Amino acid sequence: MTALPPKLEAVVNMFQKSPKAFRLQALLDFSKRVPALPERLKANHDQMEQVHECQSPFFLFSEVQDGQVHLFFDAPQEAPTVRGFAGILLEGLEGATPEEILNVPDDFYFNMGLTELITPMRLRGMGAILTRLKKQLSA
């Protein structure tokens, strides 16, 4: 398996080593870590890309500054699963290089023990978020 960026690897390892009940709580905790959008994106929401594969409305924006990727996500508070995915990606990929993110395996999240907690459709949403992020960074 391709090496994950160190921060993402730490998140994956934490989920792998945790009991099922803790993984669910951790996913919910990550959902609370997604900050509000900066005013420049709130005012120009059309700059964000919607990830239609997600069951809840989900929007993504990325930018590269000084060789580091900065991520911005927008999802309803009432959608803790997709917000949890966003929180995991934010924790694991914020500040990484575009190359590091492009090398993240598309299915890295299957190693986190989430298949016991959430439906395959919701897991596909996480994959779609990563795919869109990689597409933005490739452009």
Burial class (CB in 10 A: 0-12, 13-18, 19+), 58: buried
Angle between helices 80-93 and 120-138 (to 10 degrees): 40
What lies within 8 Å, CB to CB, of 67 at 6+ separation is: 97, 98
For residue range 107-122, what is the model confidence (pLDDT) as tens digits? 998 889 988 888 888 8
Name the token pair of 22. 């803790």
- Report which DSSP code applies to 1: -
Confidence of residue 78 (pLDDT cuts 50, 70, 90): very high
**Neighbouring residues of 89: CB distance < 8 A, sequence distance ≥ 6:** 8, 71, 73, 129, 130, 133
Q: Average pLDDT, stretch 41-56?
A: 94
pLDDT reported for residue 117 = 85
The per-residue pLDDT for 1 is 52
Mean pLDDT computed over every residue of the chain? 93
* 16-44 residue pLDDT tens: 999 998 999 999 999 999 999 999 999 99
Q: What is the mean pLDDT of residues 49-68?
A: 95
With H, G, I as helix, E, B as strand and everything else as coil, classify residue 115.
Answer: helix
- The two tokens of residue 9 are 């690897």
